[in-house]
Structure 1
């Protein structure tokens, strides 16, 4: 993987790109005036990571980049700021001060909603097993700015961990979190999306295991929640009570 900067970077931007390259064991290459396509051909590497003031943008074969953006999470949080109840917050019974483990962070959308819901007295831990995706999202949560300081604070409060969720859950004490949440990569997308296509290339597509659910039930005090297709057989396979919402459904298990 090539790590580079925007054209005409500042010394600080160059140092930032070099640090990211070292972290990801990539190859730092000065951008100069080269296009990304030219860099890829010159160094015979189709995977590029651009580091600049906007965070990190990941390219593979010069396709649409993967980058952090709160997207619909920001829309949902703005509704919450107006006093509206988010369906996921309502379903989980999430309250200020709660502790949440998002086992499959992806681009962090649901982690952002949870972080706003639990507030400054709560805690959200977002787990991502794929290192490049973890780094892109971690840096985005650190640097992205919305037009609302309370939303920015919610982004900054999320604790990212680069670890697979089963390993992490096994390390946690019994009843040590309020909510454990799973949103695994859908095996079959609901529709084609150019925005999510780069994520599919990076994210862990493995099916959720029964052992992961067992560990989640040991750790959770309030509930364990699974997000999946409305017609998915994963709910029945893993013992979740399915609750529909349009084409997407949430499954819930209340720990005994």
Structure 2
């Protein structure tokens, strides 16, 4: 499948390295090995920190990905960011206790579904989708920013997802290109998620300044919706602060019964 693996980005010597990988102070052999594995997988340089500061290890790179005994942490001059449930925690509690979630409703998610989160970000929607579709389902996440993709990939492999959730496979890249390739190859999923308004802050998301720094601004367009519908069997689910004038022509309608009013959906285009 087109989403089978990560899409590492390596430096070519003509542009700044987006991030470096390092460790906490006085790392164990296992932490050092994890740092080198991470660097090799994503094409990032590994900097031996020794007893120096993270800022010194970061050098000219904007962000350092720090392997610690508690997990992976992204650190820059703007702050620190790690993978956690954040706003998904309350949503997951609601669903587990028999309540409803707008994403589950909009996508009509059910056990065994295959879901593509085309704007993965911090992975909040993907955490909810993974729980909703269960261990027999599949969730794929595409993130345009390398640092957020690496954080999410490590986070979904750790203890944050609830037991019984579907595995989440993360790819770094432009989801519009991935959707185009999937449609050309005849690859489909049940539901595609699009949340291009990722830069809107959520009250419980600490470290959001760093997350915003790594957001790749991509405006929602009719073409993007069309690409998503070309691979979705059931639904394309969109979150947006307001309806655009072209939403109706793109097949998008507001999901009724939600307090925020920011959930929209269109029927999938795959029969």
With the shorter chain as reference, the TM-score category is: 0.7 to 0.9
Q: Which residue of 2 aligns with 1:152?
A: 163
Q: Are 1:242 and 1:251, in contact at CA under 8 Å, matched by a contact in 2?
A: yes
Structure 2 unaligned runs (5+)? 1-18
Structure (1 or 2) with the greater helix fraction: 1
Moved over 6 A (4+): 190-193
- Which residue of the other structure, out of 246, 251, 256, is the alignment partner of 2:264? 251
Q: Which residue of 1 aligns with 2:171?
A: 161
Give the alignment's Cα RMSD to 1 decimal: 2.7
TM-aligned CA deviation for residue 187 of structure 1: 6.4
- Which residue of the other structure, out of 2, 10, 14, is the alignment partner of 2:32? 14
How many residues are aligned here? 248
Distance change (3 Å), C-alpha of 1:132 and 1:194:
same
Partner SS, residue 85 of structure 2: coil
Matched, 1:53 2:53: no
TM-aligned CA deviation for residue 192 of structure 1: 11
List aligned pairs for 1:85-164, cutoff 5 A: 85-145=100-160, 151-154=162-165, 157-164=167-174
Distance change (3 Å), C-alpha of 1:14 and 1:191:
closer
Give the Cα separation in 1 of the matches to 2:32 and 2:43.
16
Between 1 and 2, higher relative CO (CA 8 Å, sep ≥ 6) is seen in: 2
Deviation string 1:49-88 (CA, Å, 9 cap, x unpaired) is 2112322211222x22122111121222222222222222
Matched, 1:177 2:195: no
**What is the TM-score when the length of structure 1 is the normalising length?**
0.84
TM-aligned CA deviation for residue 214 of structure 1: 1.0
